[in-house]
Amino acid sequence: MQNDRHIASAFDRDLETVQALVVRMGGMVESAIIDAARALETFDDELAEDVRRRDREIDALDHQVNEEAARLIALRAPTATDLRLVLTVIKISASLERVGDYAKNMAKRAHVLSQQPVIDGAGMALRRMAVTAERLLKDALDSYIQRDTDLAADVRARDLEVDQMYNALFREFLTYMMEDPRQITACMHLHFIAKNIERMGDHATSIAEQVIYLVTGSLPEDARPKRDGVVQTPTADQIELGG
């Protein structure tokens, strides 16, 4: 009996450690989104480079989470409920790592756009969109920490706001390109940044869905709310910049 309590206690400590890594990772990703958007709006190469550097730390944390979770499963043989928690942590970590990559890709384009014709209001509009996505991510992580399925469901519903902002920006950039071919390069970069941010919202929603799964044992049965006509285009990481 004493040995069983010791094993349970050790498992709880290991689980707290891996969850703390995910929470730390989430904070770093939230900061990366905001800093990447600011670097883009102000053409701040130094801040953009800092975002790119920090992404390596985010990647390292994701790797550590996966290693710790695998060790936990192998050594502790968690029961069904505990195993669900470990698997949820792994999936949340993977979503955070992807969002960090999107923030890095935004930062990569800050210098490129500083050499292009300025599209009035584009930087501010993208920053607003990024702030909206960052708030979704923060609430998704809060719903995980608090095991709050109502907040998780709210995140799923609010992802529609990010989709609407993306669609509006896509149409605006398309209009610029049609009116002045000299703005095509800048608008293409801006469009891919907007698509990156739209995908951030999708990953925040995925985290929220994992919270619902963790608490209830089932993923949401209803289809994720999406705005009709969301333009499906290649994401920026499919057209990588160097570095």
Give, in order, the Cα–Cα distances in Å from 165 to each of 134, 169, 227: 14, 6, 10
Q: What is the DSSP letter of 232?
A: -
Amino acid residing at 66: N
Give the per-residue pLDDT at 226: 61
> What's the gap between Cα 64 and its chain centre?
18
Give the DSSP H/E element, type plus range, for residue 18: helix 2-42
Backbone angles phi, psi at 91, to 5 degrees: -70, -40
Give the relative orientation of helices 80-114 and 184-216 as an angle to the nearest 10 degrees.
170
Identify the CA nearest to 210 among candidates 128, 127, 93, 46.
93
CATH superfamily of 2-229: Phosphate transport system protein phou homolog 2; domain 2 (1.20.58.220)
CB 197 within 8 A of CB 102: yes
Position 240 scores a pLDDT of 41
Q: Which residue ranges in the chain fall short of pLDDT 70? A: 1-8, 223-243
Single-letter code of the amino acid located at 74? A
Q: Which amino acid is at 9?
A: S
Q: What does the block give as tokens for 171?
A: 């149409």
Rounded Cα–Cα distance for residues 122 and 149 (Å): 35
- Per-residue pLDDT at 1: 45
Q: What share of the chain is helix, strand, coil (3-state, %, to 5)?
A: 85, 0, 15
227: left (phi over 0), alpha (psi -120 to 50) or beta: beta
Quick one: pLDDT at residue 222? 74
Instruction: Decide: 105 and 173 in contact? Cβ < 8 Å.
Output: no
pTM beyond 0.85: yes
Taking the C-alpha atoms of residue 66 and residue 86, their distance in angstroms, rounded to an integer, is 10
- Copy the structure tokens of residue 242: 């160097």
